[in-house]
Amino acid sequence: MIEDRDARTKEIIKRLKKEYPDAHCALNHGNPFQLLIATILSAQCTDERVNIVTAELFRKYPTPQHFIELSQTELEKEIHSTGFFRNKAKNIKAACERLIAVYGGEVPQNMEDLLTLGGVARKTANVVMGNAFGIASGVVVDTHVSRLSQRLGLTEQKTAEKIEDDLQRLVPKKHWVMFPHWFITHGRRICNARKPLCNECVLADICPSRNDLV
């Protein structure tokens, strides 16, 4: 067992990078705007469902202006299956209106401006910054990243913001964009919430939670 968190983090990154060389953002998108909308829709919804919805949504409405011209009711119908559709539709329309009014229809490439858009909190902004622009602004913390970070002893925190603070201290900045993809892929395939497959895990020998999970 590697007791030192920095050393364990380094080994975790080394192993997961080798195990999942094709890990990537699971939300289908062709440009920063599409990724922004897909990420807003992904709240409390699976990426698979979002991709089903956005395949048709982006074909019909490819720009912020198209979403502005769409009625609230019609947008709600389009995204209904992603859940929380009323609030998501409201946020998407507000974000598109600001994109047109303030940013010339283009998604801004900095955290401060992204956070002024409807429906955009730090997690969404990090997703867009890292995956659309290749800018390491932080570490995306979703349910998988939270769970694995706690199980692997990288944090004892419970909130996404505090977990991100710990991960930013442990994970080299050059890995900030990919680190969540490795964790998310591993969380889905092996270290799931209910019944983790510890006997198949490449991190089993350095996981401080293994004895509690098997």
Domain boundaries of the chain, sorted by first residue? 5-23+139-213, 32-132
**pLDDT value of position 3:** 76
Query: What Å distances lie between residue 78 and 3, 49, 174, CA to CA?
Result: 50, 12, 38
Q: Which of 47, 88, 123, 166 is catalytic?
A: 123
pLDDT at 184: 97
143-198: pLDDT as tens digits: 999 999 999 999 999 999 999 999 999 999 999 999 999 999 999 999 999 999 99
**Which one is catalytic: 10, 17, 90, 142?**
142
Q: Which CATH class is domain 32-132?
A: mainly alpha
pLDDT of residue 213: 78
Quick one: pLDDT at residue 1? 64
CATH assignment of 5-23+139-213, given 3.10.20.30, 1.10.1670.10, 1.10.3720.10, 3.20.20.80? Answer: 1.10.1670.10
Kindly report the average pLDDT of the chain as a whole number: 96
Residue 214 has pLDDT above 70, yes or no: no
Concerning whether 10 is annotated as a catalytic residue, the answer is no
pLDDT at 137: 96
Known catalytic membership, residue 212 = no
Mean pLDDT along residues 39-47: 96
Q: What percent of the chain has pLDDT over 90?
A: 96
pLDDT in tens, 70-109: 999 999 999 999 999 999 999 999 999 999 999 999 999 9
